[in-house]
Structure 1
Amino acid sequence: MIVTQNQISSMPLHSIQPLSPTAVLGLWHLTETPADLWAGLPNPEAYQLLLPATANATRQAQWLAGRRLIHRLLQESPSPPQARAVVQNDATGRPWLAGAAPDTVVSLSHSGAWVAAVLAQGGRVGVDVEIIRDKAQRLASKFLAPAEWADAQAATHAAPDAGSAHYTLLWSAKESLYKLAAQRGIIFRQQLLLHSFSPQESGEIPATLVLSGAETRHSICYTQPAPGYVLTYCHEPAR
């Protein structure tokens, strides 16, 4: 069941969606100023030390909203309350939760006015939200394998008006798979492979991840949180 903003009292969230008994997806429609976001952020003294010094007001708001969202998702976790948990970033920029249960995993993304996060107990997660624009289509040859590019050209030939949206979706799906893989140095057009699918407003994209000579199959969910945006995400419980 998706819990919408109208059902969430005193919280400026857009939605909270359980993905499994151990994972939850949250969306935040960003309308607040940095000052508004600081006011409701747990452990502000820790975050004041972590806020990027070069972030302008827009980036600060996105950064703070991401942390507010993750703390809200922690309330949905089956683990005991983690009042002193702090969202940090590792050397590769991936977020992790200091002070949380050891098996807590999180993925975070922001673009424009939207922030998305997936939090889970165990397993692997990846999430990405993107503003639809023509950049992905212009750079398609750099991140799409030949078969993927051929599929994309066929799809956009059938629906010319969907060109930018379709290529942005493909880029976003690879971003979510990249975050799921949690390894540096991955070549998008060789190691993150998307298979044929019928584009709809929401659905799933079958994918293959190629790491260390081994291939694994995955499924990337996608939807549109609002006009002009795409959202992709994946969660794989611990085995």
Structure 2
Amino acid sequence: MPLKKIFEPHRGICVGLWQMTESIAQLPKPKGLDLAFRSEKRLKEELCVYALLSAMTGNDQLVIGHESSGKPLLEGWSISISHTRGWVAVILSDDYQVGIDIEYSSDRVSKVVERFIREDEQRATLAQQLINWSAKETVYKLCSEQKLDYFDMRLHTLQSDIDTVFEQKRHTSDAVRGAVRVDVLKTKEVVTVHYELTPDYVLTYSFLDFR
């Protein structure tokens, strides 16, 4: 079973991670869900999301809706979903607003740093770039009503040894874990984003009290 893990980083918060290793034929098909008119890639992502959601809640009858913006909706829960090459991540809460992002680890971000990293942010290393990109995606989802741009968010300085630790662990399965504060410049809010950086992916998530 490609369920990577389910954990509770805070009371009332549940995070799940699924590695997409199965074929579409091997994945359960939720009852009542219209699976027509989807590409093979999109269908596999959606089936993995539902498999992960079922594992997290113990309920295989849940149906995810969407706002016109594409934001996912789940009755009784705040939910955020992300997928990248080979991975699906979900965060759930009935107490907090939530946001999550996962990106596969690659130096492709180095080619586009000017599009998402401000001049007053760290950008020298791959670890800094990956965390910045993913953390801003998470805050964008968390504060979706604000329609933030990348430059409307500013990361505080990351832990001083993150690059050394990441390089040491790049050829292992270990993760670098931590948290970074992010300024939402439009509202002058400061959001804490938790991160997990591995040789395969960067995972970030955050949560706020309902407004």
Q: TM-score, normalised by structure 2?
A: 0.84
Unaligned runs of 5+ in 1: 1-10, 76-81, 157-162
Residue number in structure 2 paired with 1:230: 202
Identity %, equivalent residues: 27
Rounded to whole Å, the distance in 2 between the matches of 1:94 and 1:31 is: 26
1:177 aligned to 123, 139, 150, which one?
139
Q: For 1:42, give the aligned amino acid.
A: P
Does the 8 A contact of 1:105 with 1:124 survive in 2?
A: yes
Q: Which has the larger radius of gyration?
A: 1
Q: For 1:208, give the aligned amino acid.
A: D
Asked whether 1:192 is paired with 2:182, we answer no
Does the 8 A contact of 2:84 with 2:103 survive in 1?
A: yes
Change in 2 beyond 3 A, CA 1:47/1:12: farther
Rounded to whole Å, the distance in 2 between the matches of 1:136 and 1:167 is: 7
Rounded to whole Å, the distance in 1 between the matches of 2:66 and 2:45 is: 15
Rounded to whole Å, the distance in 1 between the matches of 2:106 and 2:50 is: 26
Rounded to whole Å, the distance in 1 between the matches of 2:104 and 2:2 is: 21
Does the 8 A contact of 2:139 with 2:206 survive in 1?
A: yes
1:42 is displaced (CA, Å) by: 3.3
CA displacement 1:41-68 (0-9 Å, x = unmatched)? 432x2242xx5x242x233212210122
Asked whether 1:18 is paired with 2:8, we answer yes
Asked whether 1:209 is paired with 2:184, we answer yes
2:123 aligned to 127, 146, 152, which one?
152
Residue number in structure 1 paired with 2:50: 67
Rounded to whole Å, the distance in 2 between the matches of 1:152 and 1:215 is: 22
Rounded to whole Å, the distance in 1 between the matches of 2:183 and 2:136 is: 10
Unaligned runs of 5+ in 2: 166-175
Q: For 1:23, give the aligned amino acid.
A: I
Q: For 1:196, give the aligned amino acid.
A: T
Change in 2 beyond 3 A, CA 1:83/1:60: closer
Write out aligned runs for 1:31-70 (5 A): 31-37=21-27, 40-43=28-31, 45-48=32-35, 53-55=37-39, 57-70=40-53
Rounded to whole Å, the distance in 2 between the matches of 1:85 and 1:93 is: 18
> Would you say how many aligned residue pairs link Structure 1 and Structure 2?
197
Q: Which has the higher helix share?
A: 1
1:107 is displaced (CA, Å) by: 0.5
Write out aligned runs for 1:59-98 (5 A): 59-75=42-58, 84-97=61-74
Rounded to whole Å, the distance in 2 between the matches of 1:84 and 1:15 is: 21
2:194 aligned to 212, 221, 229, which one?
221
RMSD: 2.0
CA displacement 1:12-68 (0-9 Å, x = unmatched)? 41111012221100011111111221xx3432x2242xx5x242x233212210122
Does the 8 A contact of 2:140 with 2:147 survive in 1?
A: no
Does the 8 A contact of 2:113 with 2:123 survive in 1?
A: no
Rounded to whole Å, the distance in 2 between the matches of 1:210 and 1:67 is: 35
Q: TM-score, normalised by structure 1?
A: 0.75
